[in-house]
Amino acid sequence: MVYAYPFHNYCVPLVVTLRPALEKWAKEAGINYGDFSQLCENGETINSKRCKVTKSSWQRYVGTRSTDPKVGRSGCFCFKAKKGRRQGKNSRTNSNSYTGSFSLSSSSSVMAEASRIFYSPLVPNFRPLQKTHSTKPYTASFRRHSINCSVSTSDSARVAATGPIPWGCEIDSLENSSALQKWLSQSGLPDQKMAIQRVDVGERGLVALKNVRKGEKLLFVPPSLVISADSEWSCPEAGDVLKRNSVPDWPLIATYLISEASLMKSSRWNNYISALPRQPYSLLYWTREELDRYLEASEIRERAIERITNVVGTYNDLRDRIFSKYPELFPEEVFNIETFKWSFGILFSRLVRLPAMDGKVALVPWADMLNHNCEVETFLDYDKASQGIVFTTDRAYQPGEQVFISYGKKSNGELLLSYGFVPKEGTNPSDSVELLLSLKKSDKCYKEKLEALKKHGLRASQCFPIQITGWPLELKAFAYLAVSPPSMSKQFEEMAAAASNKSTATKDLNYPDIEEEALQFILDSCEMSISKYNKFLQASGSMDLDVTSPKQLNRRVFLKQLAVDLCTSERRILFRSQYILRRRLRDLRSGELRALKLFRGFGKLFK
């Protein structure tokens, strides 16, 4: 798929099986074995292949199945090493190639932030550990060193992630899913009525193998197979440091995931992590330029920027407060912004909140292979009776049908933000668009109105979610405040309170004298927003025609399509509101006109 990293097939067993021979070679070459433990190979199963190790310069291993010409289809692999570092007396500095024959036996083997308005049982609130705003939060360059690190707990080296993430798999492949299934059943997952398969919606998902009844409980994932803030660390020292520093659940689990992932086979979660997407679909991976270019019309752009800033801020805070003090436990080659983007991307798209476990947040292997359907109303939760994570089907499924759950009542924008997809137009009953309303700077009472808003935690410009079925009462209250004349200053406070979704004040305000102005104000804001969407959607056809690199073109086509789908669905809601507002205004004006005519008629009568 478009997001593909240039690296494919990271094969741990290869490294493990080759280790003695490679260690021997490394010793001869005066190189620390750990420094090149990051090896790729070009097939999933290799048996007794003749492997060639090429040492041309002293760099971390680079090579892929298809892009590095040194890695042929024959099963050879190579790595490059940087010249002149740690070259021992006996080093074969002049020899640039080692060829050997190795016998290889094994094969390679549900936040985000909850919406202000809608309660989401699946995805927890994300709060940064500490907001450390930098002026250019994610254009900053990150230092990358090429030293290897190992943990004291096991003899295995950690896998550094100085480039693309070396663990996980391609998002659209079934790579590693049978190993995951096998490992899960060996680890206590009961027999399942579903299996991981390629699917039309969500690329990979759980498909019914047998008839499933409506109201049936499925999954039964035992708590021992769940990753949460209480999970045991393969490197307990690292876990202890984070807990001593009271790191909250989200960053704690994010760090845990990186720590376990880097230990590859030495981690009990290896089979699970190997089946996770190497690059989750997430707005975290959009550059600032891409967000500005494709999401200019949508308020989701702001949310994405805020989220990226939070993730970067959280990472920076952890790095400054903790990682830098314990470099042996948290080496930068492993715990860096790239790995944090990956782990937060995984959490945003897979972490679930389990209400029956006091709202605990957790990664639930197997259950997190279920895709979302906007019309399904069933959620994951812990079931005390069966002592497992389950969901109860809200419909029947036949063998071969994909089984869905709900990730919560989320708008298309929220789904794009956390999960990287946009449902088909008109299929999401929870869809909404954020409409921005602003006080007019030229308003004589601007200051008083702003003060009233501030008292209730609001600003001069506020976003309100509009649905196809209508807008919230808060929006109408804000509109009343924005258009009210100085003579109504005594009501400013009441209006501002009603505009806040935090206050319990009466929301259903009614000011017939300014009703028309308020509706016109909302309509103007709506039309301003529609014109932004029109501009983007018209321009999108001719956008990116200048991109020549196929990889870049693919990525841009994909991102643009997501943006076009989002903007089309958001504009559709605005069009509906525009229609309703125009009709109401027409009725109001024709009603007033009729009343005026009647009044004038009476006037004439009395003359």
Ligand X SMILES: C[S@@+](CC[C@H](N)C(=O)[O-])C[C@H]1O[C@@H](n2cnc3c(N)ncnc32)[C@H](O)[C@@H]1O
Query: Site residues (CB under 6 A) for ligand X?
Result: 110, 201-205, 277, 280-281, 349-350, 368-369, 371-372, 419-421, 423
Comparing C-alpha atoms, which of 353, 323, 279, 406 is closest to residue 129? 323
Closest distance of CB 460 from ligand X, Å: 35
- 6 close to 67: Cβ distance less than 8 angstroms: yes
Closest distance of CB 174 from ligand X, Å: 9
Tokens representing residue 242 in the block? 């984070």
CB-based contacts of 391, cutoff 8 Å, min separation 6 = 217, 218, 219, 367, 370, 378, 379, 380, 381, 405
Closest distance of CB 420 from ligand X, Å: 5
Task: Select 58 or 348, whichever has its Cβ closest to ligand X.
Answer: 348
Tokens representing residue 494 in the block? 């009441």
Task: Select 1 or 21, whichever has its Cβ closest to ligand X.
Answer: 1
Give the DSSP letter string of 317-356.
HHHHHTGGG-TTTS-TTTSSHHHHHHHHHHHHHH-EEEGG
Task: Select 419 or 492, whichever has its Cβ closest to ligand X.
Answer: 419
Closest distance of CB 170 from ligand X, Å: 10
CA distances for 363 relative to 62, 109, 122, 226, angstroms: 31, 21, 11, 6
Closest distance of CB 275 from ligand X, Å: 8
Closest distance of CB 203 from ligand X, Å: 5
Tokens representing residue 450 in the block? 């702003």
β-bridge partners, 375 = none
CB-based contacts of 283, cutoff 8 Å, min separation 6 = 291, 300, 304, 307, 308, 416, 417, 420
Closest distance of CB 404 from ligand X, Å: 7
Closest distance of CB 405 from ligand X, Å: 9
Closest distance of CB 280 from ligand X, Å: 6
Side-chain-side CA neighbours of 556 within 13 Å: the count stands at 18
Task: Select 269 or 478, whichever has its Cβ closest to ligand X.
Answer: 269
CA distances for 336 relative to 339, 343, 396, 414, angstroms: 5, 11, 45, 26
Closest distance of CB 371 from ligand X, Å: 3
Closest distance of CB 409 from ligand X, Å: 14
Side-chain-side CA neighbours of 583 within 13 Å: the count stands at 6
Closest distance of CB 339 from ligand X, Å: 18
Q: What DSSP character marks residue 369?
A: G
Task: Report the amino acid identity of residue 517.
Answer: E
CA distances for 278 relative to 29, 166, 225, 322, angstroms: 33, 8, 21, 26
Task: Select 382 or 419, whichever has its Cβ closest to ligand X.
Answer: 419
Comparing C-alpha atoms, which of 482, 573, 581, 3 is closest to residue 298? 573
Task: Select 460 or 564, whichever has its Cβ closest to ligand X.
Answer: 564
Closest distance of CB 372 from ligand X, Å: 4
d(CA 184, CA 206): 14
Find the residue with minimal CB distance to ligand X. 204
Task: Select 280 or 465, whichever has its Cβ closest to ligand X.
Answer: 280
Task: Select 21 or 174, whichever has its Cβ closest to ligand X.
Answer: 174
CA distances for 395 relative to 39, 213, 217, angstroms: 46, 7, 11
Task: Select 46 or 206, whichever has its Cβ closest to ligand X.
Answer: 206
Task: Select 55 or 409, whichever has its Cβ closest to ligand X.
Answer: 409
Task: Select 252 or 562, whichever has its Cβ closest to ligand X.
Answer: 562
Measured in degrees and rounded to the nearest 5, phi and psi for residue 204 equal -130, 135
CB-based contacts of 100, cutoff 8 Å, min separation 6 = 21, 25, 50, 51, 52, 53
Task: Select 277 or 465, whichever has its Cβ closest to ligand X.
Answer: 277
Neighbours of 401 (CB within 10 A): 15
d(CA 473, CA 479): 10
Task: Report the amino acid identity of residue 43.
Answer: G
Comparing C-alpha atoms, which of 380, 358, 373 is closest to residue 220? 380
Task: Select 337 or 369, whichever has its Cβ closest to ligand X.
Answer: 369
